[in-house]
Amino acid sequence: MGKLLRDNGLTLALTALFLASLAGQIVAGFLHENHELREHGRAAIVLGAYLSSGAFLSALFENWESEFLQMWFFVMLTAYLFQRGSPESKDPDKPAPQDRDPALDQDKPNAPWPVRAGGLARALYAHSLGLALAALFLVSFVLHYVNSFRQATEEAHTHGIQAPTFIAYLANSQFWFESFQNWQSEFLSTALLVVLAIFLRERGSPESKPVAAPHHQTGTD
């Protein structure tokens, strides 16, 4: 058990933080929603109704969407662009092991099976991280859109006004405000990590260069 916890500690800690944060969002959101309903003279809702509401699901997937977009762009941009001095970048003056042709390793017995299989399996596997993050972003974006539309429809019915159509909602400024307010913060935080890591250090972290490394050293080696 000790070895299992040590070998998977990062994933377990981040999963625990995710679940704790999700629980906090649910509790705070549920209390806020019922507070809003009472202020408008409406009956409070039960937790199950809140969890299936457009308001909760829209907010949930709105945040997931921005996270997956940020990770997808970061993975793709670091494959082609450089930032000298940052541990988050490949060194533009040295060949990177990530650029090695996987076909050269197809005979290695410990290589992942798509590498050994070759063909389409290897071609897809060579870009599987980017494809997975792109798919997660697109799914989250669609779910955000669907539930943001649901929320807008519910609010329109509450106020006795005409609800937008599903397609017309694509031009809704509120939906795009929800998206861009998160996208800009994700790109800002990523850019700051790339630049700050040139000059600052965090001993023990693989996201940092060694403490004594010169500022111009690129990558973590």
Amino acid at 155: E
Q: Is-above-0.85 flag for pTM? A: yes
Q: What is the pLDDT of residues 67-120, one digit of tens each?
A: 999 999 999 999 999 999 999 999 999 999 999 999 999 999 999 999 999 999
| 40 Cβ contact list (under 8 Å, min separation 6) | 158
8 Å CB contact between 68 and 140? yes
Q: What is the distance between the alpha carbons of residues 219 and 221, in angstroms, rounded to a whole number?
A: 6
Q: What is the pLDDT of residues 128-182, one digit of tens each?
A: 999 999 999 999 999 999 999 999 998 887 777 888 899 999 999 989 999 999 9
If one counts every other C-beta atom within 10 angstroms of the C-beta of residue 6, the result is: 8
Three-class SS of residue 182? Answer: helix
